[in-house]
Amino acid sequence: MAETTDILVEEPILEVRNLQTSFFTEKFEVKAVDGVNFAVPKGKTLGIVGESGSGKSITSLSILRLIKNPGKIKGGEIIFKGENLLDKTESQMRQIRGNEISMIFQEPMTSLNPVYTVGQQISEAFIIHQNMSKKEAMLRSVEMLELVGIPSPKQRVKQYPHELSGGMRQRVMIAMALACDPELLIADEPTTALDVTIQAQILELMEELQDRLGMSTIMITHDLGVVAETCDYVAVMYMGKVVEYATVKDLFKNPKHPYTVGLLNSLPRHDIDLGEEDLTVIQGSVPAPDQIPEGCRFAPRCPFASDICQERLPHLEQSEDGNQIRCWIYTDEWDGDPEVNVNGKRTS
Amino acid sequence: MFTFIVRRIIQTIPVLIGVTILTFSMMHLIPGDPAQIMAGESASPDQIELMRDRLGLNDPLPVQYFDYIRGVVTGDLGNSIRSGRAVSNEVFLRLRPTIELAVYSTILSVFIGLIAGVFAAVRRGGLADSFVMIVALFGLSLPNFWLGLMLIQYLAIGIDIFGINTGWFAASGWGTWQQQVLPVLTLGTAGAAIIARMTRSSMLEVIDQDYIRTARAKGVKERVVIYRHALKNAMIPVVTVVGLQFGTLLGGAVLTESVFAINGLGRLMVDSIRARDFPIVQGGVLIFALLFVFVNIIVDVLYKFLNKRIDLN
């Protein structure tokens, strides 16, 4: 059975097919991204969720081909506007980075260069991609700072990163990423390092700008709350593989993969009272890279795992509603309890 | 910026007071009686006593120190025992070759050190990296005077290779560029090695920083990433080393000037130490200390330019 690649979206701006990125140590190969498929619909937001080490950040860096040694993109296709980014030359990629595809990083405190002013750093994007003069670029930088809601942008543009707060720096990062009007924005945990109140502001800003500029977004996060708030589609990743791909609505209403269910159950909820045991946890932890299970990667931690799960890796399969799931329970080959109940509702 | 420099200059006053105390005590720490040395070996006790009186050695120490300071402040560093001329004159006459030697060597070591360091860092773990680091280790370990002698042997006296004599440069003196090349190489090598190693490790640290990834994600060319985004950050610790290195360089100048027979301050001091002409030695040490302090003020200002996180006030 072939891996499903034609995804429910009619008009994807980005399609990732069977992407494989590995890190090579002297002893073994760590498959950080191990055959990932997903698509980002035009103008929509795709969330990629998973625990630390699930490969979500490496996936995003792979899209821009920013994987450094000893990491390597081993195979697959990254189709952006009909062209495979993995076939591009390095200089063609530079034309795309920061211009057509931009990225925002997790750590606003360390992601800005401490020895250049905010204005110089935003200007650089204009100078590289739009051949602007320094002066012109600086004027546009002021406009960008204004766009991302930084007060007195004319003064701020001359300041150095250490003179700004974390939230301000993340706004600067956003301004820098959006400078050249990208068609795709990759946000790698953009709010993780920020205070909760600032988190909401930044998410709101990103959503507002996305609407205004009509770009597509990949939102990488471990926070399902962020997903619920900002995304249209979600890909759940576990150990370098997508285990579930669905619309946000379906995912929260009817999660299918036991891992997704586990993630959702570990969220604090205020709509139902769980009594003493407020939160449930997913038992165990992500296995070490040299102890990858042979069958389903999640089997050792899965409360429903049966024999077939230990032996063979399930495929990512598309159901009638267009969502995708990588789990034996939803196949004809399922050898466990036929009445298995994954999320509290009958799955039949 | 101006207040920063003024403050920095004021801050050097305690350092300079410390230096004068040290140079002053030299007179009292050297073995033997200065009066005895100055009066000569065949002097009678009366003559020595007269000399003690003239030198003020019978006064209490603090009085002697303040007499000395009064002299230093007014530019009077005493008189040379050998020539009888004013120390300040003798010292300043010899200052120029030493400063030139130190400055050229610094420029050479910064230039070579930075290029080699960045080159090695960008090729981390590769053959080129190992090669540069091994050469740097040699440069660091070679004794200054030995390197000087070898350079004289092979590049001043020269050897014949395929009928070409390699004696391109002069072996002694200071003035023409032929005379300057070998001393500068001799003195600059160790500094270049230290700066290369420092630059490499500093670059390696910076290259892994998040902001370098940000620059790449912006579509910046790799060359620009290295020289604009990384090197400017990596320079910050390197600049400090250059300042400290200058002190070592002045020390090295003493040896280098001796090897190449350059009439600089270093050689003057070596000769004066041999001749027990301690007023000259005192004056020379004081000048060296002043130079070192001055260079480090320049370094601090440079540091401030590079590192925006330092608050001026």
What is the token pair recorded at B121? 């860092």
- DSSP of B10-45, one letter per residue? HHHHHHHHHHHHHHHHHHHHSSS-HHHHHH-TT--H
- Measured CA to CA, the distance from residue A3 to residue A112 in angstroms comes to 40
Residue of A nearest to B236 (CA): A115
Q: Can you tell me the mean pLDDT for A299-314?
A: 88
Q: How far apart are the first and last CA of chain B?
A: 9
Query: Which positions in chain B touch A107 (Cβ < 8 Å)?
Result: 210
3-state secondary structure of B283: helix
Residue with tokens 């981390």: B124
- Measured CA to CA, the distance from residue A49 to residue A144 in angstroms comes to 29
| B309 contacts A113? CB cut-off 8 A | no
Q: A43, A30, A348, A17: which is closest to A182 by C-alpha?
A: A43
CA distances (Å), origin B118, targets A155, B230, B239, B243: 35, 10, 15, 20
Facing B218 at nearest CB: one of A98, A110, A160: A98
Q: Which of residues 259-278 of A touch B (CB under 8 A)?
A: none
pLDDT digits (tens, 9 = 90+) for B225-241: 999 999 999 998 898 88
Residue with tokens 């030493």: B98
pLDDT digits (tens, 9 = 90+) for A3-41: 444 455 567 899 999 999 999 988 888 888 988 999 999
Q: What is the pLDDT of residue A140?
A: 95
Q: A201, A105, A194: which is closest to A149 by C-alpha?
A: A201
- Its CATH class, for the domain covering B98-306, is mainly alpha
Q: Can you tell me the mean pLDDT for B152-168?
A: 84
Q: Can you tell me the mean pLDDT for B196-201?
A: 95
3-state secondary structure of A190: coil
Instruction: Chain A: give the shortest CA distance to residue B195, in Å.
Output: 21
- Measured CA to CA, the distance from residue A299 to residue A259 in angstroms comes to 10
- Measured CA to CA, the distance from residue B214 to residue B216 in angstroms comes to 5
Q: A24, A38, A29: which is closest to A220 by C-alpha?
A: A38
Contact yes or no for A19/A316 (Cβ under 8 A):
no
Q: Which of residues 13-72 of A touch B (CB under 8 A)?
A: 64, 66
CA B195 to chain centre: 14
CA distances (Å), origin A213, targets A42, A167, A179, A184, B56: 12, 21, 11, 11, 86
CA distances (Å), origin B24, targets A262, B13, B18, B264, B283: 78, 16, 10, 23, 10
Cα dihedral sign, A143-A149-A154-A156? negative
Q: What is the pLDDT of residue A345?
A: 46
Q: Can you tell me the mean pLDDT for A326-346?
A: 77
CB burial of B220-257 (b: ≥16 within 10 Å; e: otherwise) equals beeeebbebbbbbbbbbbbbbbbbebbbebbebbbbbb
Q: What is the pLDDT of residue B313?
A: 45
Q: Can you tell me the mean pLDDT for A191-214?
A: 86
Residue of A nearest to B206 (CA): A113
pLDDT digits (tens, 9 = 90+) for B276-298: 777 888 888 888 888 888 888 88
**Out of A126-130, B69-73, B78-82, least confident range:** B78-82
| B210 contacts A107? CB cut-off 8 A | yes
For A45, list phi and psi in degrees, rounded to 5.
-115, 125
Q: Which amino acid is at B276?
A: R
Q: What is the pLDDT of residue B186?
A: 93
3-state secondary structure of B281: helix
Q: Does A114 touch chain B (CB under 8 A)?
A: yes
Instruction: Chain A: give the shortest CA distance to residue B251, in Å.
Output: 34
**Residue A5 DSSP label:** -
Q: How many CB atoms lie within 10 A of CB A69?
A: 9
Q: A262, A107, A251, A247: which is closest to A187 by C-alpha?
A: A107
pLDDT digits (tens, 9 = 90+) for B93-123: 888 999 999 999 999 999 999 999 999 999 9
Q: What is the pLDDT of residue B32?
A: 66
Q: What is the pLDDT of residue B310?
A: 67
Q: Does B216 touch chain A (CB under 8 A)?
A: yes
Facing B308 at nearest CB: one of A111, A115, A124: A115
| A124 contacts B220? CB cut-off 8 A | yes
User: Residue A202 — very low, low, confident or very high, per pLDDT cuts 50/70/90?
Assistant: confident
pLDDT at A291 over 70: yes
Facing B217 at nearest CB: one of A66, A107, A114: A66
**Residue A324 DSSP label:** E
Residue of A nearest to B124 (CA): A69
